[in-house]
Amino acid sequence: MIAWTIYITFGGAVVILFLPRACAKWIALGITLAGFAVGLATFLSDDVDPAHFKTIVRMPWFPALGMNYHLAFDGISLVLVLVTGIAAISAVLFSWNVEDRAKEFFFWLLLVVGGSYGVFLSADLFLLFLFYELVIVPKYFLIAIFGSNNKEYGAMKLTLYSFFGGALVFLGIIAVYGAAGSLDLNRLAQFQFPEQLQSWAFPVLFLGFAVLAGIWPLHTWAPTGHVAAPTAGSMLLAGIVMKLGAYGVLRVAMNLFPVGFYQWRIWIAVLAVVGIVYTAAVALRQRDLKFVIGYSSVSHMGFVLLGFAAGNLFGVSGSVLQMFSHGVIGALLFAVAGRMIYRRTHTRDLDALAAMNLSRALPFAAFTFVVAAAASMGLPGFSGFAAEITILIGAWKSYPLAVWITGAGMVLVAAFTLRALKRTFFDVEGESADASGEVQGMPAAHVQMSSSAEHPVHLPPITIPEKLGAGLLMLATLAVGLYPKLLLDRIQPAVETMRFLSR
């Protein structure tokens, strides 16, 4: 049944093109809700076996090359399908006011969502790669057509990075296929690849997928892409697309090449830790709110990679939990920054925002951002805490030093999050008006507005769809934060059956 997430979404995308523009957003909402409902129903049903990557559809596609249309799912896929559904619904809700070329917008958006469902459910390597690449081009158009500042640059950079990763993955897949003669992920997971092949093919596959997961130093597409993207685009990027890369690392690179993984995992840990600390430090220096969040995304994805590098039950299941958690929190942060703030104030400059006294002008936005920031910092009670603590416990067993350094990095994360929070909403005194006036490239109107902002500026209130979307995301992060067992029950059995686990 869960396969219907894919069909519904792609079918809906096509339907949107042929119906009047006014229906587009309603259909998109209906489609994403349906996709989420299907995912949730499967997640909650009792007769699910989360431990095994169980086939749901299998049809011969090109028998001569051993290709099948083969879908399967286990606990990890389920969790990621769930977060895809949540992020997709909220992305549609936060795009409620898209009027210009709305049909195209929701078409591209649904293609990204559908492709992501496909990746999480594919049990055939060729099929997985097909869906994986399918996501790239819609992302490009979503950003290049509907984005904001420097959109064409951001879109092209993101696309080229993704496709560079894709080329590496392609090479890795050809290597897998050439060596094993099969593309069935379940069969490949049993196959003993020659050690020599693993030692070069693992880094190729790993790096290919990890580009999309935002691994340092190939992460620079993420901040620029996030900033350039429209709100829904950034939400999908942070919420889903970065997870595609991480999922590929786990499901393909690590699971097929355990020997290669052990040879290289120290380097994964190094890159992950550098990524966490470095991008957090960079985020501390940003003036653009979306850049702060963009870098924080990379930093959070660093945790996922650190958990993978740990290579044990806690580390890896923590990583999957973090994928869910960041999917929700990242989407929430971008929703606040992109839609609630930027759409209304037309600036994302922290100094300019500081002068606007936004906590009084947009109380709901302030509340949402506080929740998102708390979750992002990893405060107990939110999903970020549950995930990161699990990862750190796992990493402690493998790389204690990495945990120490990451701990320092977490302080930086807290620092930049609090800084962004304070500057955006709670800088009541404000930097003096002159300071914001000095900001380069700010339109004159904003300078005026901010200099006269002793009182709260009059901004359009937060709309109902925005409240619903934010509510959904907050609910998700709280639910998982308070009761992480909800997801871990599904994740851990699946991780336990993976063959790279260090014993």
Partner 1 sequence: MNYSELLRLAAPEAIIVITALIVLTIGLATGRASKFSLFVAALGIAFAVGAILSLPQSANLFGGMLVISPLNSLFKIVCLVLALVTIPLTSSEKSSPNLGEYLALLLLGALGLMLLVGSEELLMIFIGLELLGLSLYVMAAFDKSSIRSAEAGLKYFLFGSTASAFTLFGISLIYGLSGTTALATIGQKIGAVPIQPLLAVGVVMTLIGFAFKVAAAPFHLWAPDAYQGAPIPSAAFIASGSKVASFVVLGKIVLIGFGPVHGSADWRAMIAGWSPVLAALAALSILLGNFVALAQTNVRRLLAYSAVAHGGYTLLGLIAGGRDGFSATLFYTSVYAVTLIGAFAVVGEVRRETGGDDLQDFAGFAKRSPFLAAAMSIFLLSLAGLPPLAGFFGKFYLFSATFRAGANHGLLWLVALALFGSFVSLYYYLIPLKVMFVDKYSRSEAGHKSPVTGHLIANATIALLAVAVLFFGFMPQTLAARILAALP
How far from 55 is each of 20, 41, 58, 291, CA to CA, in Å? 38, 18, 7, 41
Which token pair is 193?
């690849």
User: Could you tell me the CA-to-CA distances from 90 to 33, 109, 176, 325, 353 in Å, in that order?
Assistant: 10, 12, 37, 15, 25
Q: Is 174 in the site for partner 1 (CB under 8 A)?
A: yes
- Amino acid identity, residue 445? A
Q: Quick one: which segment of 29-37, 141-149, 408-416, 482-490 binds partner 1 (CB under 8 A)?
A: 141-149
Per-residue x/- mask for partner 1, residues 106 to 135, rule CB under 8 A? Answer: --------------------x--xxx-xx-
What are the φ/ψ torsions at residue 74 (nearest 5 degrees)?
Answer: -135, -165
Least CB distance to partner 1 at residue 2 (A)? 21
Part of the chain binding partner 1 (CB under 8 A), chosen from 156-164, 248-256, 259-267, 472-480:
156-164
Q: Helix or strand or coil: residue 124?
A: strand
Choose one: 33-41, 151-159, 228-236, 475-483; the region binding partner 1 (CB under 8 A): 151-159
Q: Which alpha helices (DSSP H) does 181-253 contain, by range?
A: 185-188, 195-212, 221-228, 231-236, 242-248
- The rounded distance, in Å, linking the Cα atoms of 61 and 58 is 9
DSSP 8-state symbol, 406: H
Among 90, 159, 376, 390, binds partner 1 (CB under 8 A): 159
Give the tokens for residue 411. Answer: 């302080």
* Among 65, 428, 464, 486, contact with partner 1 (rule: CB under 8 A): 65
The distance of closest approach from Cβ of residue 178 to partner 1 in the complex, given in angstroms and rounded to an integer, is 4
CB atoms within 10 A of CB 360: 14
Task: Between 23 and 478, name the residue whose CB sits nearer to partner 1.
Answer: 23
Q: Which of 167, 433, 457, 459 binds partner 1 (CB under 8 A)?
A: 167
Piece of 72-80, 157-165, 184-192, 460-468 that binds partner 1 (CB under 8 A): 157-165
Distance (Å, whole) CA 245 – CA 250: 9
Exposed e or buried b per residue across 157-172, where buried means at least 16 C-beta atoms within 10 angstroms of its C-beta: bbbebbbbbbebbbeb
Among 91, 102, 136, 387, binds partner 1 (CB under 8 A): 136
Contact between 311 and partner 1 by CB under 8 A: the answer reads no
Does residue 175 bind partner 1 (CB under 8 A)?
yes
For residues 193 and 252, the answer to whether their CB atoms sit within 8 Å is no
Binder of partner 1 out of 53, 117, 140, 202 (CB under 8 A): 140
Options 60-68, 216-224, 303-311, 385-393: segment touching partner 1 (CB under 8 A): 60-68
Stretch that binds partner 1, among 83-91, 137-145, 283-291, 458-466 (CB under 8 A): 137-145
Decide: is 367 part of the binding site for partner 1 (CB under 8 A).
Answer: no
Buried-state track 286-315, b at ≥16 Cβ within 10 A, e below 16: bebbbbbbbbbbbbbbbbbbbbbbbbbbbb
Minimum separation from the CB atom of position 167 to partner 1 (A): 4
Quick one: 7 or 62, whose CB is closer to partner 1? 62
Task: Compute the least distance from the CB of residue 131 to partner 1, in Å.
Answer: 8
**Where along the sequence are the contacts to partner 1 (CB under 8 A)?**
61-65, 126, 129-131, 133-134, 136-137, 140-141, 144-145, 152, 156, 159-160, 163-164, 166-168, 170-171, 174-175, 177-178
